Amino acid sequence: MKKLPSALTLILVIVLVGCNMPSTNVQPSTLAPEAVFTQAAQTVAAELTRVALLASPTPNIPATPNIPPTPTSTDTPVPTNTTIYTPTKTPIPCNLATFDPATIDQTIPDNTQVFPNQLLSKTWRIQNAGTCSWNSSYLLVFDHGDGMGIAAGYTQQLTTGVVNPGQWVDLTVNLKAPATAGTYTGAWRLRDPGGVVFGITPLGGTFIVKIVVIAGVSVTLSPVVGESGTVRSDWGPGPDYTAGESNADITRTCEAFLSFNISGIPSNATITDVKFDLSVYSITGNPFGSLGPMVAYITDYGPTLEPADYVAGFPSSYSADWYSTAALNAIESSPEFKTSLQSKLGTSRFQLRLQFAGSNGDATKDRITFTNPSLIVTYTTP
């Protein structure tokens, strides 16, 4: 605290004393001189104290704004080092197959509609994604599901060459659609030379063929009487259906002519299957052993069978052949007849000729006579 100057102090004492002197209406005799002095001294001291306080150099501190207190900073913990693990590569197995979704189904994509008993050729394109080369000892294996003409446990060579890691290969299996309408799925895998089965990733190990067999109409056609029969090189027509030698005279051979009425099949139909049933017959001699195969030709001899329809020789182009009685007993589908019959739709007749090559010159009758040969035709319509 600063001291007041002496002159100022003296003036203040005088003023204060003067101000505190008794007024004229107070009797002098009421206060003793000592009391008056004491009172004045006290008054001066009080005023000096008050003046000193007022004169104190109190700093001019502005009003504190309403600002929230600044939080006391705390130390931020230093993060500890985190261990970073570098992933290791998974070893590529020896045998592994993969595929491209856009190209795996080279034929017969999933849910392809097919006809009853239709012959199919399914091809997958896969890649060798392993580290081992595939060779002819690797197998394509039918794993499970619908065989579609394939027996359980069926296998075939994966390749006849070598498929190195990274290379692509087409795998083809020949199948046959079931005779009944429905959806069918067959699953396939691969097998290495050691017998270890492996599959294709990421399809769960197998690659499949999936078809939808649509319902069809099946009809059995018998030869038209009066348009069908046997014509011999020097005679005819006869009412039966005989092919081979006519008798012991080796210069005379027989040919069987069969005419089937197809006018009941709609012209917009799709032929899905044709079987030629020759399973009922009688044999004289040894026609297959002596005369060779019996063959069938697609022909158009018209509504009337005549001796002139006999064909000499053995034309090289034919539609089907049979080399044994076992072949006659097996009533199998004929892709050639299917194609030929499809081309005839819209007409009324489908006609065939059966014959052997000729005589073997042994002077023994060798021939086959058929009883009611027939065509079993399956088709669908839009």
Closest to 185 measured CA to CA, from 99, 96, 108, 102: 108
CB 358 within 8 A of CB 253: yes
Query: The pTM is what?
Result: 0.52
Cα dist from 324 to 280, 292, 357, 380, whole Å: 14, 9, 15, 33
Q: What is the pLDDT of residues 113-127, one digit of tens each?
A: 888 888 999 999 999
Least Cα distance to 371 among 246, 262, 261, 283 occurs for 283
Phi/psi zone of residue 108: left (φ > 0), alpha (ψ -120 to 50 degrees), beta?
left
According to the model, what pLDDT value does residue 215 have?
Answer: 81
> Which among 346, 356, 351 is positioned nearest to 323, based on CA atoms?
356
pLDDT tops 80 at residue 185: yes
The one-letter amino acid code at 318 reads: Y
What confidence category does residue 214 fall into, taking pLDDT thresholds of 50, 70 and 90? Answer: confident
Q: What are phi and psi of 42, to 5 degrees?
A: -65, -40
Residue 11, pLDDT > 50, answer: no
Handedness of CA 175, 190, 132, 96 (dihedral sign): positive
* pLDDT for residue 83: 59
On the question of pLDDT at 303 being above 50, the answer is yes
Q: Where is pLDDT greater, at 36 or 331?
A: 331
Each residue's pLDDT tens digit, 187-202: 999 999 999 999 887 6
The SS3 call for residue 14 is helix
CA angle, residues 82, 83, 85, in degrees to nearest 5: 140
pLDDT at res. 249: 55
Q: 97-215 — its CATH code?
A: 2.60.40.10
Q: Side chain identity at 271, as an amino acid letter?
A: I
3-class DSSP state of 340? helix
Encode pLDDT of 157-182 as tens digits. Answer: 999 999 999 999 999 999 999 988 89
Structure tokens at 115: 């006809």
